[in-house]
Amino acid sequence: MRSPLAAPRRRILLFSFLVFLTLHPLRALDFNSPGDPAVLAEALAARMSDEEALAQTFMFGWTGTGPSPLILDWIRIRRIGGIKVFGWNIRDLETLTETIGILQRASLGGPLKIPLLAATDQEGGMVRHVKDRTSDTPGNMAIGAGAFPEDAYYAGYYIGRELALLGINMNFAPVVDLATSRDSVLLGTRSFGEDPVQAGILGLAFMRGQTRAGIISTAKHFPGHGATSLDSHGTLPRIAADERLLWDRELVPYRMLIRGGLPAVMSGHLAFPRTPAGDIPASLAPWFLQTLLRNRMGFRGMVITDDLRMHGAFLTTGSLSRTARQALWAGNDMLLISSTPGMNDQVWTELLDWMKRERPFRERVRDAARRVLALKLIHLRREGAASPIPDPDRLRREIPDPQAEAFFQDLAARSVTVIKKEGIPLDPASAGRVLLAGRHWNFINAGRRAYPKAAVYSWEESANAATLRTFAQGADTVILCMENPGDLQLLESLRSLNKRTVVFSVSASAYPDKNSWVHAAAVLYSTAEESFIAGFSVLLGRINGGGAIP
């Protein structure tokens, strides 16, 4: 039998709740409110207007090295979700941290106090958008050459620690594309190698190192950019891989990282005509992002597009606004746009109009905003997360980092892959008159330390074979640094001179085979100073170089 006091108690509880709402209005709810991240993300997204929800799905680049007025307007007025740091934003690290601090304060000053995702591409090796005093590292293929997960972990950790000091909280790394095409211009040494399981192991270790440093990892370029020689910046690559091959090859690293708690994925502007998506880029295809990534692979994190200004995406639809709409419909949660559009640009007005006219699209955008908020709540509030406002004093004290320098030098030494060793060691006395020929000053400087009396032939764009032969005529030993397949022809022009010839390759696609006529050859995978120091140390016989082409 119900107590006669039950109804009055319910009325009292209801009254108390109404009083609570009066004293603690919903507007008091913000990013710093306590609670489960998933529940709080739902609550924050529910409180947002359509404009606020749409803005959370935008990540923009900006012009200049300081905070441009336009990007500040997008942050203060529209409350966009993120910013992307490109190489053109870097004058020096101090200016960058000051700029990020200004942009984050503008975002945190909003009613919901939501920080920005501040992202960049700091993969290591050939892609390093933030330079100045940050570590110039050997890169992923050097890690793959040694194949030590500990190297991948500490590479992610040291790169991540530098980013965190700068106020950058998200890195578009690790690259888990497979090196299945030796002719891939875009990928090159950015890959850990061609073995899917090894790439997954090393990618997972890299991710965990970044997590320890307080950085949100983003695996890219989903589902895989390795099996093409084309660059999606300028065209739409079409890759002849069907669903089964993708599952057993390109998707293996993603499957491993997802099980390890991968927070974010970058979708690639790549077409796979032999899959149900047909000629639609994976970045715009619901089959890839919903059927495959979400439903079959079980990914629960955030999906962000590669730059929508890239032709691989833009050529498909003909306009940025239509591309952005299709990207959101496909299952992306955030739109990366390398430039800052005008405040009332077509991409904003049309997306907002579609939200108001089409309820399913409105719900998709609000779901995307919820995922962006959940990512921020999970990763930007946890212990050890990168502070949104960087500390300039810590920056000055801790970059450059002697521990990082020592680690990356050791990594470079472990990665050197000797292809032909008959001419090793080569001491300065035996080498005679040495010619250093190459386009990188890190190579020239390291070579001069090893062979102080060496002559130099250097070039910026392309070498002239006749000029190289003229320089080589007066040398006993030619040490040639090769970077691209065209350099193999340059090497061949030296054959008839019968000079002692040593080759350092910094590429995965430009090196002689073990039966070549050259006296010694090694692959370094990188143009970092540490890699050339390691290469010349091998040539002098001071270290062995134990890497294998991955």
The answer to whether 154 and 103 are in contact (CB under 8 A) is: no
Query: Which pTM was predicted?
Result: 0.92
The stretches of 319-358 forming alpha helices (DSSP H) are 320-330, 346-357
What domains can you pick out in the chain, each with its CATH number? 47-402 (3.20.20.300), 416-539 (3.40.50.1700)
- The residue among 441, 399, 436, 462 whose CA lies nearest residue 539 is 436
Q: How confident is the model at residue 432 (pLDDT cuts 50, 70, 90)?
A: very high
Q: Look at residue 462 in the predicted model and tell me its pLDDT.
A: 80
The angle that helices 529-539 and 402-415 make with each other, rounded to 10 degrees, is 50
Q: What is the pLDDT of residue 233?
A: 62
Token pair 């050529």 in the structure block, residue: 315
Residues 254-294 have pLDDT tens digits of: 999 999 999 999 999 999 999 999 999 999 999 999 999 99
Residue 15: is its pLDDT beyond 60?
no
123 has pLDDT over 60? yes
**What pLDDT is stored for residue 415 in this prediction?**
97
Q: Is pLDDT above 50 for 114?
A: yes
Question: What is the reported pLDDT for 229?
Answer: 55
Yes or no: say if 253 and 242 are a contact pair by the CB < 8 Å rule.
Answer: no
Task: Determine the Cα–Cα distance for residues 329 and 289; give it in Å rounded to an integer.
Answer: 10
Q: Provide mean pLDDT across the span 470-480.
A: 97
pLDDT digits (tens, 9 = 90+) for 227-252: 665 555 667 889 999 999 999 999 99
Mean pLDDT is lowest, of 136-150, 184-198, 335-349, for: 184-198
**Which residue numbers are catalytic?**
233, 306
pLDDT cut 90: percent of the chain above it: 84
